[in-house]
Chain A
Amino acid sequence: DAGVTQSPTHLIKTRGQQVTLRCSPISGHKSVSWYQQVLGQGPQFIFQYYEKEERGRGNFPDRFSARQFPNYSSELNVNALLLGDSALYLCASSAPLRASNYEQYFGPGTRLTVT
């Protein structure tokens, strides 16, 4: 089975522009989470979606938005890009929610550079 896939791998944008990042979860996984990882720091939680509904949101401005599609793939959109948005954006998928624990499986990330 393929793992979590993300596209594009790398992206360069200019301040003020908008960007869309894409994620395909592992087959059978209905939950997708997005994280931002600035150089030298651990990943920071942005969003989680389950069955196309937002289940949680981290401390990020409204410039960040996301959605999940019927096939459980997801897009992360960032508007009005700032230099500080330069980071590795990670997508993670997890198995259908159940009472016990579940681990999240991460994709390779999209490296966004804002100039």
Chain B
Amino acid sequence: DAKTTQPTSMDCAEGRAANLPCNHSTISGNEYVYWYRQIHSQGPQYIIHGLKNNETNEMASLIITEDRKSSTLILPHATLRDTAVYYCIVRVSNDYKLSFGAGTTVTVRA
């Protein structure tokens, strides 16, 4: 599996967009980029995934660079409830496991 690199932590102001970077320079052509988050004392929650095109859903947007070596998760209007650890994961589509790293601890401040 390709590995990912994320900043350890970042702060964000409530109501502003939060841009979470992820580096996956060794990603293979058949590997997708997944994002999960884990709010304190809860199980991880799926956010979004993509292969090479930008993706958007009700929670977030995912921007993947053309060379696919990095991506950015965008929370358009961060709220206090978005405070969590965010995990960027790369995996092939039919892989049975998720390989979590340490993630980015995002703190949204009022």
Instruction: Give A residues with C-beta under 8 Å from B.
Output: 4, 31, 33, 35, 41-45, 48, 50, 55-56, 58, 90, 92, 97, 99-101, 103-109
B52-93 CB contacts (< 8 Å) to partner A: 85, 87, 93
Q: Could you tell me the dominant secondary structure of chain B's interface residues?
A: loop
Find chain A residues with CB under 8 A from B41 CB. 108
A69 to B97, CA, bound (A): 20
| Pairs across A and B, CB under 8 Å, 29 listed | A31-B96, A33-B96, A33-B98, A35-B100, A41-B102, A42-B87, A42-B100, A42-B102, A43-B44, A43-B98, A43-B100, A44-B100, A45-B98, A56-B96, A56-B97, A58-B97, A92-B44, A92-B98, A99-B93, A100-B93, A101-B49, A103-B46, A103-B49, A104-B46, A104-B98, A106-B43, A106-B45, A107-B43, A109-B42
